[in-house]
Amino acid sequence: MTDTTAPAYSGPKRIFSGIQPTGNLHLGNYLGALKKFVDLQATEWETIYCVVDQHAITQAPDVWGGPELLASYTRQIAAAYLAAGIDPKRSIIFAQSAVREHTELAWVFNCVARMGWVERMTQFKDKAGKDAERASVGLFTYPVLMAADILLYKATHVPVGDDQKQHLELSRDIAERFNRDFNVPDFFPVPEPLIKGPGARIMSLKDGTKKMSKSDPSDLSRINLVDDSDTIAKKIKKATTDPLGPMPEDVKGLEGRPEVENLVGIYSAVSGESVEAVVAKYAGQGFGVFKPALAEVMVAHLAPITARYREIMDDPAEVDRVLRDGADRARAIAAPIMDEVRRTVGFWGA
């Protein structure tokens, strides 16, 4: 699953990833990130999964819901982690804001990262839109905080969707630069992205060239993790295809058909069957056959998760207990690493 060869760093292997508590999770978040978080528990590696609430506030309060809603959105993501199959005994689940060292390390990294590196980040340009002067400074340094999230735990591997690739490259640059500037070779591992797989880039159901996203105004463009079976079936039925005929005869026939390729990719990611196998199974069939079959595998996979999610959300105190326990365990790893950073930088009293 690793994209490149393992780093020279010889410390323990550790997985870290995070999801922002902004809006409902959709199938892209699930297949690009959450499902991988769950699958990685089968390795011997330590797994740490964060709800990155400090990243959420980089945009205006009306975008992330405002102070009355933020904590409950954080609980919702934690509940989705649990519902998808993250075991709170096996993995650490916690809220970023509960471990103060994240922002402390982010400051040091703000002084390690170069303006030119951060200015290249395309997600800032997308999110800031035309009026970048009005974007918050936090939105600009967002990827620096992300590097701090990962490196505060000396995490070696980071499962994310394809859209986070550039941010991971920045984290790698920051780790290398810190190690070099402070003359501590191998202090921070250079973290590896875990991106590959059929779910790395799930596209909108309405436009095969746009990624599935929380912010798309059309709810028909995405499958939400909380959608019921009828809604899923309806959205798949209404998903855009193309006038280029029925299902292709082979994988090459997916070229130039982004909408069909996306639906086949979703089928493959959800069922665990390869893209080749899915194409072979439905070769030459009409969408009247393929779409209901796709809806069926999706419902079979997602309905138990949705049901568990609703059950867990009925007991928010239990979710809070998981988050508190996770924060204690996260802090126990983070605090000594931050102490080492303080000493390395040369701060008074460290």
Determine if 167 is a binding residue for ligand TRP (CB under 6 A).
yes
Candidates 211, 235, 282, 338; binder of ligand AMP (CB under 6 A) is 211
Least Cα distance to 294 among 182, 302, 211 occurs for 302
Q: Where in 140-179 is the site for ligand AMP (CB under 6 A)?
A: 160-161, 163-164
Contact between 45 and 15 under an 8 Å Cβ cutoff? The reply is: yes
Residues sharing a CB contact under 8 Å with residue 265, sequence separation 6 or more, in sequence order: 198, 199, 202, 275
Nearer to ligand AMP, 151 or 341 (CB): 151
What distance in Å separates the CA atoms of residue 69 and residue 132, rounded to the nearest whole number?
26
**CA 177 to chain CA mean position, Å:** 25
For 247, the 3-state DSSP assignment is coil
Determine if 194 is a binding residue for ligand AMP (CB under 6 A).
no
Other Cβ atoms closer than 10 A to 246: 17
How near is the Cβ of 317 to ligand AMP at its closest, in Å?
25
For 157, the 3-state DSSP assignment is strand
Stretch that binds ligand AMP, among 67-75, 142-150, 199-207, 303-311 (CB under 6 A): 199-207
Stretch that binds ligand TRP, among 160-168, 212-220, 262-270, 297-305 (CB under 6 A): 160-168
Candidates 53, 101, 149, 192; binder of ligand TRP (CB under 6 A) is 149
Q: Please say if 206 is a catalytic residue.
A: no
**CA 225 to chain CA mean position, Å:** 14
Stretch that binds ligand TRP, among 14-22, 174-182, 296-304, 316-324 (CB under 6 A): 14-22
Nearer to ligand TRP, 149 or 192 (CB): 149
How near is the Cβ of 347 to ligand AMP at its closest, in Å?
32
Other Cβ atoms closer than 10 A to 149: 25
Q: Where in 18-37 is the site for ligand AMP (CB under 6 A)?
A: 19-20, 28-29, 32-33
**Binder of residue 146, out of ligand AMP, ligand TRP, none (CB less than 5 to 8 A by kind):** ligand TRP
What distance in Å separates the CA atoms of residue 40 and residue 15, rounded to the nearest whole number?
8
Determine if 124 is a binding residue for ligand TRP (CB under 6 A).
no
What distance in Å separates the CA atoms of residue 85 and residue 59, rounded to the nearest whole number?
30
Q: Please say if 211 is a catalytic residue.
A: yes
Q: Please say if 127 is a catalytic residue.
A: yes
Q: Spot the catalytic one: 13, 165, 214, 281.
A: 214
Determine if 224 is a binding residue for ligand AMP (CB under 6 A).
no
Contact between 183 and 247 under an 8 Å Cβ cutoff? The reply is: no
What percent helix, strand, coil does the chain show, rounded to 5?
Answer: 55, 5, 35
Nearer to ligand AMP, 148 or 200 (CB): 200
Candidates 34, 139, 150, 203; binder of ligand TRP (CB under 6 A) is 150
Nearer to ligand AMP, 32 or 258 (CB): 32
Candidates 14, 26, 36, 55; binder of ligand TRP (CB under 6 A) is 55
Q: What is the DSSP secondary structure assignment for residue 5, as one 8-state letter? A: P
What distance in Å separates the CA atoms of residue 177 and residue 297, rounded to the nearest whole number?
46
Candidates 52, 92, 205, 294; binder of ligand TRP (CB under 6 A) is 52
Only one residue has tokens 């924060």, namely 327
What distance in Å separates the CA atoms of residue 113 and residue 173, rounded to the nearest whole number?
8
Determine if 20 is a binding residue for ligand TRP (CB under 6 A).
yes
What distance in Å separates the CA atoms of residue 7 and residue 49, rounded to the nearest whole number?
21
What distance in Å separates the CA atoms of residue 26 and residue 22, rounded to the nearest whole number?
11
Residues in contact with ligand AMP by CB under 6 A are 19-20, 28-29, 32-33, 160-161, 163-164, 199-202, 211-212
Q: Give the residue numbers marked as catalytic.
A: 127, 211, 214
Residues in contact with ligand TRP by CB under 6 A are 16-18, 20, 52, 55, 146, 149-150, 158, 160, 164, 167
